[in-house]
Amino acid sequence: MSEKIGVIVVGAAGRMGTRIIHVLHETPSMRLVQAVERPDHPSLGKDVGEIVGLGRSGIPLEGRIRKGEGEVIINFSTPQASLESLEFARENGVAIVIGTTGFRPEQMERIKELSKEVRCVLAPNMSVGMNVMFRIVQDVARVLGQDYDIEILEAHHRLKKDSPSGTAIKLGELIAETIGRDFNQVGIYGRKGMIGERTREEIGMQVIRAGDIVGEHMVLFGGVGERLEIIHRAHSRDNFARGAIKAALWIIHQPNGLYDMQDVLGLR
């Protein structure tokens, strides 16, 4: 392994890819070796440093990953591109960090199968604070869950493609598992019309898409006479980028397998 860990960023010209490259630039133990975008991206061939506002880097934006460079891939692009990166990682013995959301069930099954032969961190949210929240809501649900109504509210920018967010779904799944419910059965996505009284078992999911909201998640435990709200607000994408860099530094030293940020942060 080289003195500095070589990183391949897929989705390099996107909102998250840009911030990851900026954080990499500030990380002494790591270096960008490849910047990859979709094959039809209009900036292919241009210097990625100039694209993201860091000045000339000598690294062009490319349409595919090349063999022979880099110890770890970081991908925050699309489900299909993330699967292709995972295939590449398995075939070439490199580690991978995936922050993409919106995978279909069959794609998740493929990820689980491939991860038996590759070191992979997959997490819907790389924020350290958000992953602490994952842990906290389970503890709270264990105490309050059966007697309190549970609602999840998430807000993101107007350009986000998947809804609800992967983070909100993860919150729902963790809470449901903690209190012995199946989120696929009790998750309620929005409400309209004369739907009758709220059931005790349901976990509500409400979604906002507006402006440039980076990401906000709230879990509300509503009881009679009181409510408890647990909130995480992301002020910028840099916290996700820093989490991804932390995950990349961690995963290169692990055996093959599928991990998440709870593993990276030692929250298991």
**What whole-number percentage of the chain has pLDDT above 90?**
92
What pLDDT, on a 0 to 100 scale, did the predictor assign at position 170? 94
- What pLDDT was estimated at residue 1? 44
254-267 mean pLDDT: 94
Confidence of residue 268 (pLDDT cuts 50, 70, 90): confident
Instruction: Mark whether 160 is an active-site residue.
Output: yes
pTM for the full predicted model: 0.83
pLDDT at position 256 over 60: yes
Q: What pLDDT digit, counting tens, does each position of 65-77 carry? A: 998 889 999 999 9
Q: Active site residue: 156, 170, 232, 246, which one?
A: 156
**From residue 126, how far is each of 85, 211, 227, 228, 262 by CA, in Å?**
18, 22, 28, 25, 10
- What is the per-residue pLDDT for 101? 86
Render pLDDT for 149-207 as a digit per residue (tens, 0 to 9): 999 999 999 999 889 999 999 999 999 999 999 999 999 999 999 999 999 999 999 99
Residue among 41, 116, 160, 235 flagged as catalytic: 160
d(CA 176, CA 122): 21
Go through the domains of the chain in sequence order and give each one's CATH number: 5-122+237-264 (3.40.50.720), 128-234 (3.30.360.10)
Instruction: Tell me what the mean pLDDT of segment 90-112 comes to.
Output: 94
Residue 86, token pair as written in the block = 């995972």
- pLDDT for 19-53, tens place per residue? 999 999 999 999 999 999 999 999 999 999 999 99
What is the pLDDT at residue 19?
Answer: 95
**Stretch 107-136: mean pLDDT, rounded?**
94
Tens digit of each residue's pLDDT (9 = 90 or more) over 224-253: 999 999 999 999 889 999 999 999 999 999
Neighbours of 237 (CB within 10 A): 21
With a cut of 90, say whether residue 102 has pLDDT above it: no
